[in-house]
Structure 1
């Protein structure tokens, strides 16, 4: 005979599953441990978990907020919604556009420039580390640059590497590429 799952038991089970979950996923063995704790089969616990996830709509488990501190958390930079139509997507893009500050964009493009500089220094490799340029300190001092300087030697070596790639035997003319490098 199997144990009947009441609404209260299902709610307690769901809350326990949520407490064990991280970003909507359970670790290996959590379902078995929780099934033993509640005296249920793993199949019954799995059924409650899947039903709860399905009821969330977009397959992201709700966060149990009771008693959790908000200190030390960073604001998410990604939208947590899932647009299903073109109109929803357009609304999300417009919302993100209005919510993004010029300061955020400036810092993002400075990071992009530092990534490009490091890629050029390392000959196209991705084994670089992005140097910390203390953007917030520079901004507060009013000295945040718009562009980052590039060493002449780094530029010419990167240009030579790119031109060498495009002047390979199969590519006789690199004049189109040359326009972008000046």
Structure 2
């Protein structure tokens, strides 16, 4: 994500305006124990499950991009592509006191596979990107994913066919192997080679933004890049 600079010894991180970051997160529908404060006469909240040892989990897929602003500082694109629960609808097989057979029920996905990932990318993420992406954009849009096993290949034929529709050029991209989960403001961690002596400096982003001087890209010293290359090659 670093772009070499020809005019100085410091490089800059790419602006990443054309990158959509996706990731999954599991959530429990409830906890085995919770505390409630009730007023006199108030009924306790209804909580029911088959067993407290097997509380249902639901996985969500989130997709975000970098927000954009016009020259006056007004937000023109929030960067919020969407949050999609991986919960398909299935007809009930049998009748019960709660519903009749055939009623569509929301079911959690207990195991995420490549087929599930492919379906949600094609049916949920791609349409959301096309609907919300700022007009006038040119060039490819990259969907950045980590190296989890359920993620599909960047050359997946079904995804490539769906991603090139309506004039868009949307591509998948994997995170580099063994890449630390850092952002561009964590350069101090690299300077101390991953030790706990780092101190994240305050660059005054709020003040710079109010003054209209907030840089769209952060610089990175060439010496630090060379040193990290040397460490990783050892």
TM-score tier by shorter-chain length is 0.3 to 0.5
Instruction: Name the one with the larger strand percent.
Output: 2
Higher RCO (Cα < 8 Å, 6 or more apart): 2
Instruction: Name the one with the larger helix percent.
Output: 1
State the TM-score, normalized to the length of structure 2.
0.29
State the TM-score, normalized to the length of structure 1.
0.35
